[in-house]
Amino acid sequence: MTEQAKAWMIAWVREQCVNGEARRERQRLKLSEAQVGAVVGTSEVNISRWERGIRLPRKDAALRYAKALRQMEKIETSTGRLGDVVASS
């Protein structure tokens, strides 16, 4: 991934946090903060802080979070059952 693409992804995921879209998407998919944190490699406390806009994920964490959000949407779209897939992992 180019540096420009990384910068775009970081900006996108931070915007998703600030405007509440990241939280709404997680809740829509019926995932807990702990489940998303496990996928991203961070704590549920950090996911909560990011989703409430208290803190924003730093570069590497932002990239992992962006990737996780996009993958969650793809899995949910293709299987219709993301919560089951994540809960079993």
CA distance 72 to 63: 14
Burial of 10 (0-12, 13-18, 19+ CB in 10 A): buried
- Residue 25: strand, helix, or coil: helix
Would you state the structure tokens that stand for residue 31, as one six-digit string? Answer: 């995932």
Per CATH, domain 3-87 is 1.10.260.40: yes
pTM for this prediction: 0.78
User: Structural domain boundaries of the chain?
Assistant: 3-87
CA distance 46 to 88: 22
Would you state the structure tokens that stand for residue 5, as one six-digit string? Answer: 């693409």
Chain segment 31-82, per-residue pLDDT in tens: 999 999 999 999 999 999 999 999 999 999 999 999 998 887 776 666 565 5
Would you state the structure tokens that stand for residue 2, as one six-digit string? Answer: 């180019």
